[in-house]
Amino acid sequence: MAERPHAIEAVPVRHPWRWVFAVLIVLIVANAIWSVATEAQLEWSVIGEYLFSEQIFNGIGLTLVLTVIAMTMGVVLGVVLAVMWLSPNPLASGASWFYIWIFRGTPVLVQLLFWGFLGAVYPHVSIGVPFGGPELLGGSSNELITPFMAAIFGLGFNEAAYMAEIVRAGITSVDEGQEEAAAALGMSRMKTMRRIVLPQAMRVIIPPTGNETISMLKTSSLVSVIAVSDLLYQARLIYSRNYNTIELLIVASLWYLFFTSILTIIQYYLERYYNRGSRREPPPSRIEHFVKNFLPRHDRSATEPLPPRSGDSK
């Protein structure tokens, strides 16, 4: 065998424009920070005082609980609706179509108000024999549908309509050969869906679901219209007393930003998990990507010897 050739030592491609833009961006950001710090009439102490206050924490707790429950409801119901939509049963797909038509076609704010004021139309709700038969379970709407329940219903049922569309797109993205292979092995439609199709659809479903969750975290602030004391509601309560409006909005925003950042990180790892098997190597993380494409490569690979070529199988 011939001697191993030297590793290639090429001068990497330079990207001068990246540096120009970088300098520009640093200047703009620095100026913004400087102006906020020196000119804006903000009472920084108020932000510090309320950022970790109990009242704000209560609001955060409620916002998170609302987001988690509404998203869970949205995902579960969304999967059911998507499977119904794609089912050969025309009644099921029709019902799914109708649901999505209603809940996606009206503003979520209207839906929240509707659930919030349901008591005005239906003072009494019950489960029992239909068409006025004996009732098994029932009570006054205002007791059963508390503002919290109304918020869950409003956000969750609305989210399900959007999730159904996302899940449907995911399911249809999976190669038909997969269903066929599972069917040929004797797997039922339901097992095929659960074990073969949905896990593959996840790759398409996860990124927009991450967006939906982030969006839900913020959309949940609408529930203050039906007097549910979420993060924004608490912030508004406080500034209605002390008039530090902007400061408290900043407090709320900082927390929204904090949680959306966490969600973004979770989303990244979920995507990577559901991408397994579809690529030969996991994608680089955001930071790796940045380092690779921005900083000039004093290439490690140029100084280190080439790794041995991975032999073909066996």
Complex with another protein: residue 2 or 91, whichever CB lies closer: 91
**135 binding another protein? (CB under 8 A):** no
> Among residues 15, 195, 286, 292, which is the contact residue for another protein, using CB under 8 A?
195
**173 binding another protein? (CB under 8 A):** no
Nearest Cα to Cα of residue 231 among 261, 264, 214, 254: 254
> Among residues 184, 241, 287, 307, which is the contact residue for another protein, using CB under 8 A?
184
Query: Residue 93 CB, nearest distance to another protein (Å)?
Result: 17
Whole-angstrom distance, CA of residue 118 vs CA of residue 138 = 15
**186 binding another protein? (CB under 8 A):** yes
**276 binding another protein? (CB under 8 A):** yes
**39 binding another protein? (CB under 8 A):** no
**185 binding another protein? (CB under 8 A):** yes
Would you say 232 and 252 are in contact if contact means Cβ atoms under 8 Å apart? yes
Query: Residue 170 CB, nearest distance to another protein (Å)?
Result: 13
> Among residues 16, 177, 305, 311, which is the contact residue for another protein, using CB under 8 A?
177
Which one of 133-141, 164-172, 264-272, 275-283 is the stretch in contact with another protein (CB under 8 A)? 275-283
Query: Residue 1 CB, nearest distance to another protein (Å)?
Result: 22
For the beta carbon of residue 173, count every other beta carbon within 10 angstroms.
13
**175 binding another protein? (CB under 8 A):** yes
> Among residues 187, 237, 249, 270, which is the contact residue for another protein, using CB under 8 A?
187
Complex with another protein: residue 196 or 228, whichever CB lies closer: 196
Query: Residue 182 CB, nearest distance to another protein (Å)?
Result: 8
**178 binding another protein? (CB under 8 A):** yes
Residues binding another protein (CB under 8 A): 175, 177-178, 180-189, 191, 195-196, 199-200, 274, 276-280, 312-314
